Each structure stands twice: as structure tokens, then as C-alpha cells.
Amino acid sequence: MAFLEVKDINVSYGNLHVLWDINLKIEEGKIIALLGANGAGKTTLLNTITGMLKPTSGEVLFKGERIDNLPTDKIILKGISYLPEGGRLFPDMTIKENLEMGAYPSKLWGKRKPDLERMYGLFPILGERKNQLSRTMSGGERQMLAMGRALMSNPTLCLLDELSYGLSPVMTQTVFRIVKQLRSEGITIFLVEQNVHQTLEIADYAYVIENGHIVKEGEGDALLNDDYVRQAYLGI
């Protein structure tokens, strides 16, 4: 049984059909990637998994339980966290306050202090600057804060949307290294990215989506050497 399974999902915005019969599986303890250009349907799929969009047909199963009929807050409490593109931080809150918002569900609030210390250990710069307003941080620092906030709910599955967007090459390497560390700690990762090369270097398995259809799938290193992927996405 897959940790999370998307089965025959179709999604529409009004009369516009945007996802077509999507099937994918996320295995526990793995980094699974979804690759594609802007407008391919990547974020739509994430919003469907997290309950912000309802599919017109199909199912989303988490640990064998159907969740596509649940509200977003109930899905989060089951152990799924979501880092949206751009992080969507609270700019006039401090780093510490932003992190605490990740523990806002009532059952998590009481244990936020040890979780804060864990985040400061994972991202030392956040602990050093915990009273600094998030709007004064660099792009890379904000992305670390967004990752920390997503982890404050103690997820078993973390959905990461365009993690490397707008980051320098050095900072991109840093956040991808952290993703690998999270996998080593037992957190399952669903990484949605346009940065094809670096994503396939760390992904255990990956899917390629184009115009709302899954067109390719395979192990990360296999897709990295796939002629279609190399020509279409790597310019090789």
C-alpha cells in the first residue's frame, strides 16, 4: 500500500479541465518528485491533495484512508504539511512567531517549545534571529523559515512547491541538502519543482506532468538520463 496515492484524479476550474486522470504513488520514506513547466498542473495537484480544491472525479488516499472529501485542517492533522510556492510568510511577524503558526492546530500548540528548538537546530540562523521580522530576511532565509514552519506540525509527509524558486545556486544546494536530511529523518517528501536536474539527482522516483497529463515516470536517475527529459527539460 502506498503512503499516499492519487487515483484517477480529474480537476476542473469551472468549464476548464486542468488535470486529466492523474495517477501517482508516494512511497513512505522516499523523495518523490513532480516535474513540469509553469501551468502544467503541479500546484493544482498539490491543492487537491491538501483539500483546497475538490476533484471532479477520482480519489486521494493517505495511509489507505480516503482524504479528498476532508477539509484542509483535518488533512493537516493527519500528518500532511504543505509549503506553498513563495512560502507565504507573515511579513510583520517575527521568525519565532511565524514558526509558531505552523503549530497553530490546538493539539500541536502545547508542544511547540520543543519543536521550536528542533527547528533552531535544523536551521541555526532561525534561532540566531528568532526575534527578527520575517520581511527583513533574504530570499534563502525566508525559504528556510517557510520550511521550518511546515515542519512545526510534525508531518510524516511534506509537500514542497517550487522550493528553489528565486534562490541563488548556492542557496538552492542548501535547501536541497536539507530535503535529503529530512528524508534521512523519516519524513516522506513530495517535491514539486521546475529545477529538473537537481531534483532528479535527489529524487527516488519522479513524475513528469504536461498540460494536466502525466507523460513520464521513473526512478530519478533513470529520468535524468532519459532522452525525452534531457531534450525537453535539460536542453541536452
What CATH number should be reported for the domain whose range is 1-79+158-172+190-236? 3.40.50.300
Residues of the chain with pLDDT under 70: 86-87, 105-110
- Percentage of the chain exceeding pLDDT 70: 96
Confidence at residue 114, expressed as pLDDT on a 0 to 100 scale:
78
pLDDT (tens digit, 9 = 90+) per residue, 83-101? 887 667 888 899 999 998 8
pLDDT (tens digit, 9 = 90+) per residue, 49-65? 999 999 999 999 999 99
Q: DSSP of the chain, one letter per residue?
A: --SEEEEEEEEEETTEEEEEEEEEEE-TT-EEEEE--TTSSHHHHHHHHTTSS--SEEEEEETTEE-TTS-HHHHHHTTEEEE-TT----TTSBHHHHHHHTT-SHHHHTTHHHHHHHHHHHSHHHHHTTTSBGGGS-HHHHHHHHHHHHHTT--SEEEEESTTTT--HHHHHHHHHHHHHHHHTT-EEEEEES-HHHHHHH-SEEEEEETTEEEEEEEHHHHHT-HHHHHHHS--
Query: Which cell goes with 82?
Result: 504543505
Confidence at residue 123, expressed as pLDDT on a 0 to 100 scale:
87
For cell 477539509, what's the residue? Answer: 71
Confidence at residue 20, expressed as pLDDT on a 0 to 100 scale:
97
- Residue 113: other Cβ atoms inside 10 A: 10
Quick one: 15 exposed, middle or buried, by C-beta within 10 A (0-12, 13-18, 19+)?
exposed
Confidence at residue 105, expressed as pLDDT on a 0 to 100 scale:
58
Confidence at residue 142, expressed as pLDDT on a 0 to 100 scale:
87
With beta carbons less than 8 A apart as the criterion, state whether 113 and 161 touch. Answer: no
> What is the pLDDT of the chain when averaged over all its residues?
90
Confidence at residue 108, expressed as pLDDT on a 0 to 100 scale:
60
Q: Where are the domains of the chain?
A: 1-79+158-172+190-236
Confidence at residue 76, expressed as pLDDT on a 0 to 100 scale:
87
Predicted TM-score (pTM) of the model is 0.90
